Amino acid sequence: MELEESGYGERALKLLRRYGASIYDRVRVRCRNGLVLEGVLLPRPGVGNVNALVIKLDNGYNVGVDAGNVVGLEVMEKHMPAPLVELRMPPISAKLPKVYFVGTGGTIASRVDYKTGAVYPFFTAEEIYSMIPELEDVALIKAETLFNIFSEDMTPKRWEMIARKVVEVFEREEPKGVVIAHGTDTMGYSAAALAFALRDLPGPVVFVGAQRSSDRPSTDAVLNVMAAVTTCIKAPFGESVVVMHGSISDDYCLVHRGVRVRKCHTSRRDAFRSINDLPLAIIKTPGEFKLLNKRFIPRSSDGLRFVGGFDDKVALVKFYPGMGKDIVDFLVDKGYHGIVIEGTGLGHVAKPLVPAVKRAVEEGVAVVIASQCLWGRVNMNVYRRGVELLQAGAIPAEDMIPETAYVKLCWVLARTRDLKEVRRLMLTNVANELYSRTEHRTYPPVLPPGVGG
Amino acid sequence: MELEESGYGERALKLLRRYGASIYDRVRVRCRNGLVLEGVLLPRPGVGNVNALVIKLDNGYNVGVDAGNVVGLEVMEKHMPAPLVELRMPPISAKLPKVYFVGTGGTIASRVDYKTGAVYPFFTAEEIYSMIPELEDVALIKAETLFNIFSEDMTPKRWEMIARKVVEVFEREEPKGVVIAHGTDTMGYSAAALAFALRDLPGPVVFVGAQRSSDRPSTDAVLNVMAAVTTCIKAPFGESVVVMHGSISDDYCLVHRGVRVRKCHTSRRDAFRSINDLPLAIIKTPGEFKLLNKRFIPRSSDGLRFVGGFDDKVALVKFYPGMGKDIVDFLVDKGYHGIVIEGTGLGHVAKPLVPAVKRAVEEGVAVVIASQCLWGRVNMNVYRRGVELLQAGAIPAEDMIPETAYVKLCWVLARTRDLKEVRRLMLTNVANELYSRTEHRTYPPVLPPGVGG
């Protein structure tokens, strides 16, 4: 691997060049505080200080040293090729339920892989068993890496790739469920995409991620992966879901429906929450699966169908006070096929946007109105502005969160561009993304627990 | 008032034209079911079925009749000028603490005003005392209407008008506090704007609204207005805040800091919640005020200062997977001065947006990155994409919600266009919108109360 592709920042690169060090060299590093570290120089993982050298010590631990704290560096041996710690593939009974992992990137897979030289490591069955030996008695795990990207680089095209991979895996391997290891940032969008693209799933598609990378002692990856495997084996449903921590302690995980889930915290382990829906299930202790929600699509034996494809000429636009009509006009001029507007309250935008919406619809562009409130339901029959928008041809997102409305519109527009049919499909429930009665129990108390009592 | 401006829909207008009826005429309406209604035809309020005629009966009640149910209509008397119910101004002791109301529109003021002919009624002291007679012993209320708009039509220019009005009112009337009656849809944005625009407030500026209009028996307006008055009189702080229901029962209201509040439900009374901050106070029974948050800016006697002005060439853009660089490029080409991007997670966007951000900054456009998670804090030093964005010149919004980051950027850019100074101001705490330590207690439990126990 070239130094330039190793992921290090400018200061670290300068230091490494000065001492003629390359990635996978065995190096001895002298630190300002007198400490001397010896081990193999690894590429920089996606996480953390880009100017901290990562050294794999002989005891197997990785340590980071900021380039500014290095006062001397010696190359002991060039290009160490061999793995320092051999991962073992334990003997697994073929009678155990099979769970198939598909890696797509993200923090959950962000360990440095010093064997292959890949900057972003992949997800192998060996690695999963090595991380969670308890799984040896629980599941026959198979794994493959589809791609390795930051989840903010996910696209509608990649949603389709994941969906097609799930179809292939269910047909070829007949697992109890498929786990998708995915970056948390856009995991909710991808989980919604698969809910629309796949019909008659024989088992759950479980998106799982981590807020802390899996080579850190504080990682949430272990519990999340165990709960994901439990969900694959025990869930009665065949839906696309997200499994993540339900609290900041390592005490339970929740299963959220893909079309109803949202990442609501930048860093907490319990960042994911169901909006306008109850979580599907809770997993309190490994292997114990408790259903929380009576509404689900059961596992099907009718034959999995791919009904996917996503139009990538769709935009999600948030309304803000003072917004003019220029962004909507621009999207129509650029040939976008659909626009989801995150309006205010029950589904409103400023007056100048009404004619812009009208023009968009007249030119065949689908316009859907969701609410930036997130909780609740768009209702455009209450206030005059809503009525004006309906008259202009806007389609209400009902109780869909804006993110799900965006994914659904991408999916609908890949099937039809006829606006009447687009409206019909957007207002027809496909994967429990639309309820006729709003689920109120999931709006959390406004007063924090223990405050104001 | 012309029929065309009366707010009625096409079917109702056609009916009224056919019978030669005008707004404020005394009419007799024969309904399909045999019922005959006699009263004054009122303009259509912003709320409800635009084709339902609103008739003020002699007993003071308003009734609505859909045009489709009208089989006959007779004009009894043209243009009734006199009010049908006289509102009384009770005798109020001049010794009571003074509270000044400024009306800007919204549901809280959405009753039909048959006296003046205004389509959107205003907020008078008589009306407030008539709605809540208990206030006669509590406060000397004065009121005026600044404007009457749907809050989605609020703009940075109007934020400045409200701020200047508050300065004028504090200087002229010396009230204990000023209440701003405001539509709920964009109330959070306006409350944040006044927090940035006003310094050394002698008392609180209290935004108040209603999720149900005040002429409905289920209205939340009464409790909200009482709590707003209590806050004006009893609060130790001089900050811009929002006072709304804290639960769906009529049992208490919460005071939220303007720069930290967000409407999070389309229809519930407890739609407003503090994000990344505790509510400032709770009002459980009328007149009882309990502080919940030790961090506040006290009332000042140094002389209120207007440090306002808002740049209206600023955009708030939400990132979504699949988003290209075209919207950011367009905004730069159009001469926008600033862009707040609602990124994912800790503050990320897709790779193609990095050069677009770089170009924007090179052309002097301020780019701020907030998180669509809403809770938590942007941290762009953890993952490589964040580092790339920082290197491109993006400014992190830290623990500000995207809406507050947008309002603050409008305010900052009205003061300076120098990007170094913009960065410094964006990262400097002005009104408790930035904390160095993230307030975690306000992230609500993911598991709904009573579920999964």
Distances (CA, A) of B49 to A380, A388, B46: 11, 12, 9
Query: Based on the domain organization, do B164 and B247 belong to the same domain?
Result: yes
Q: Is the dihedral of CA B224, B230, B232, B238 positive or negative?
A: negative
Please compute the mean of the pLDDT values over residues A288-302 and round it to a whole number: 96
Contact B361, B387 (CB under 8 A): no
The 10 Å CB-count burial string (b at 16+, else e) for B232-243 is bbbbebbbbbbb
Structure tokens at A77: 């041996």
pLDDT of residue A132: 84
pLDDT in tens, B394-427: 999 999 999 999 999 999 999 999 999 999 999 9
Contact A210, A184 (CB under 8 A): yes
Angle of helix A326-333 versus helix B326-333 axis, rounded to 10: 120
Which of A271, A312, A321 lies closest to B154 in CB terms? A321
The CA distance from A193 to A163, in Å, is 8
pLDDT of residue A121: 45
The CA distance from A101 to A125, in Å, is 8
**B400 compared with B45, residue with greater pLDDT:** B400
Q: How far is CA A433 from the centre of its chain?
A: 18
Structure tokens at B214: 């005040």
Q: Please identify among residues 30-49 of chain A the ones whose CB lies closer than 8 Å to any CB of chain B.
A: 44, 46-49
The CA distance from B151 to A202, in Å, is 48
Contact A196, A160 (CB under 8 A): no
Which of B46, B344, B443 lies closest to A152 in CB terms? B344
Q: Which residues contact A85 (CB under 8 A, 6 or more apart)?
A: A60
Nearest to B426 by CA among B405, B444, B403: B405
DSSP state of B245: E
The CA distance from A50 to A46, in Å, is 8
Give contacts of B12 with chain A, Cβ < 8 Å.
none
How does residue A109 score in pLDDT terms, banded at 50, 70 and 90? low
pLDDT of residue A46: 61
Query: Based on the domain organization, do A225 and A248 belong to the same domain?
Result: yes
DSSP state of A278: -
pLDDT in tens, A351-363: 999 999 999 999 9
Nearest to B113 by CA among B130, B98, B96: B130
Whether A231 is catalytic is: no
Checking if the pLDDT of A8 tops 80, the result is yes
Give contacts of A268 with chain B, Cβ < 8 Å.
375-376, 440, 443
Size of interface A-B (CB pairs under 8 A): 255
Query: Based on the domain organization, do B183 and B286 belong to the same domain?
Result: yes
Residue type (1 letter), A420: K
The CA distance from A380 to A382, in Å, is 6
Q: Which residues contact B403 (CB under 8 A, 6 or more apart)?
A: A320, B188, B189, B192, B262, B316
> What is the radius of gyration, based on Cα positions, of chain A?
24
pLDDT of residue B85: 47
Query: Based on the domain organization, do A174 and A284 belong to the same domain?
Result: yes
The CA distance from A62 to A213, in Å, is 13
* Active-site hit among A185, A250, A312, A329: A185
- Please tell me the total number of residues recorded for chain B in this structure: 453
How far off is chain A from B282, nearest CA to CA, in Å?
7
Whether B107 is catalytic is: yes
Give contacts of B162 with chain A, Cβ < 8 Å.
none
Query: Based on the domain organization, do B258 and B382 belong to the same domain?
Result: no
Please compute the mean of the pLDDT values over residues A97-108 and round it to a whole number: 89
Residue type (1 letter), A220: D
Record: contact A446-B246, CB cut-off 8 A? yes
Contact B442, B377 (CB under 8 A): no
The CA distance from B259 to B240, in Å, is 8
Q: Last residue of a domain, which of A255, A284, A306?
A: A306
Q: Last residue of a domain, which of B77, B106, B135?
A: B77
Domain with A395 in it: what CATH number?
Answer: 3.40.50.40
Q: What's the maximum distance between 2 C-alpha atoms anywhere in chain B?
A: 75
% of residues, chain B, pLDDT over 70: 92
> Does A273 lie at the interface with B, CB-CB under 8 angstroms?
yes
Residue with tokens 């190096």: A27
How does residue B342 score in pLDDT terms, banded at 50, 70 and 90? very high
Query: Based on the domain organization, do B326 and B226 belong to the same domain?
Result: no
Asked if residue A129 belongs to a domain, the reply is yes
Residue with tokens 């008008």: B161
Checking if the pLDDT of B125 tops 60, the result is yes
Least confident of A365-379, B93-107, B363-377, B404-418: B93-107
> Does B268 lie at the interface with A, CB-CB under 8 angstroms?
yes
pLDDT of residue A4: 74
Nearest to B173 by CA among B89, B236, B98: B98
* Active-site hit among B234, B263, B325, B408: B263
* Active-site hit among A165, A176, A234, A263: A263
Checking if the pLDDT of A214 tops 70, the result is no
Domain with B270 in it: what CATH number?
Answer: 3.40.50.1170
Most confident of A79-83, A199-203, A281-285, B146-150: A199-203
Nearest to B326 by CA among B374, B295, B360: B360
Which of B44, B320, B347 lies closest to A316 in CB terms? B320
Domain with B23 in it: what CATH number?
Answer: 2.30.30.520
What secondary structure does DSSP assign to B172-233, as a single string? Answer: HH--SEEEEE--STTHHHHHHHHHHHEES-SS-EEEE--SS-TTSTT-SHHHHHHHHHHHHH
Record: contact B266-A376, CB cut-off 8 A? yes
Whether B153 is catalytic is: no
> Does A338 lie at the interface with B, CB-CB under 8 angstroms?
no
Q: DSSP alpha helices (H): ranges in B23-178?
A: 125-131, 156-173
How does residue A122 score in pLDDT terms, banded at 50, 70 and 90? very low
Most confident of A442-451, B111-120, B400-409: B400-409
How far off is chain B from A299, nearest CA to CA, in Å?
23
Give contacts of B348 with chain A, Cβ < 8 Å.
150, 152, 185
The CA distance from B113 to B213, in Å, is 13
Least confident of A70-79, A153-162, B107-116: B107-116
Contact B390, B355 (CB under 8 A): no
> Does A315 lie at the interface with B, CB-CB under 8 angstroms?
yes
Asked if residue A433 belongs to a domain, the reply is no
Asked if residue B93 belongs to a domain, the reply is no
Residue of chain A minimizing CA distance to B380? A48
pLDDT in tens, B205-263: 999 999 877 666 677 888 999 999 999 999 999 999 999 999 998 899 999 999 999 99
End-to-end CA distance of chain A: 59
Q: Which residues contact B424 (CB under 8 A, 6 or more apart)?
A: none
> Does B309 lie at the interface with A, CB-CB under 8 angstroms?
no
Query: Based on the domain organization, do B336 and B419 belong to the same domain?
Result: yes
Phi and psi dihedrals of B332, rounded to 5? -65, -45
pTM (predicted TM-score): 0.84
Asked if residue A450 belongs to a domain, the reply is no
Query: Based on the domain organization, do A102 and A133 belong to the same domain?
Result: yes
Q: Which residues contact A262 (CB under 8 A, 6 or more apart)?
A: A188, A272, A273, A275, A374, A401, A403
Asked if residue B89 belongs to a domain, the reply is no
Query: Based on the domain organization, do A282 and A351 belong to the same domain?
Result: no
Phi and psi dihedrals of B43, rounded to 5? -65, 160
Give contacts of B373 with chain A, Cβ < 8 Å.
263-266, 271
Record: contact A320-B267, CB cut-off 8 A? no
Most confident of A439-443, B63-67, B311-315: B311-315
Residue of chain A minimizing CA distance to B267? A376
The CA distance from B193 to A396, in Å, is 29
Distances (CA, A) of B274 to A274, B210, B240, B400: 19, 17, 13, 11
Residue with tokens 């170009």: B359
Nearest to B240 by CA among B172, B183, B187, B310: B187
Nearest to A323 by CA among A345, A346, A336, A341: A341
Asked if residue A375 belongs to a domain, the reply is yes
Residue with tokens 């999963």: A128
pLDDT of residue A84: 42
The CA distance from B35 to B26, in Å, is 17
Query: Based on the domain organization, do A195 and A235 belong to the same domain?
Result: yes
Asked if residue B451 belongs to a domain, the reply is no
Residue numbers of the domain that contains B155: 98-306
Mean pLDDT of chain A: 90
How does residue B82 score in pLDDT terms, banded at 50, 70 and 90? very low
Query: Based on the domain organization, do B177 and B260 belong to the same domain?
Result: yes
pLDDT in tens, B294-326: 999 999 999 999 998 999 999 999 999 999 999
What secondary structure does DSSP assign to B394-440, as a single string? Answer: -EE-TT--HHHHHHHHHHHHTT---HHHHHHHHTS-SSS---SS---
pLDDT of residue A117: 37
Asked if residue A431 belongs to a domain, the reply is no
> Does B439 lie at the interface with A, CB-CB under 8 angstroms?
no
Record: contact B376-A272, CB cut-off 8 A? no
Q: Last residue of a domain, which of B306, B335, B362?
A: B306
Ramachandran sector of residue B93 (left: φ over 0; alpha: ψ -120 to 50; beta: rest): beta
| Chain B interface, best mutation among A265, A277, A331, A440, by max B CB count within 10 A | A265
Query: Based on the domain organization, do A172 and A234 belong to the same domain?
Result: yes
Q: How many separate domains does chain A show? A: 3
How does residue A442 score in pLDDT terms, banded at 50, 70 and 90? confident
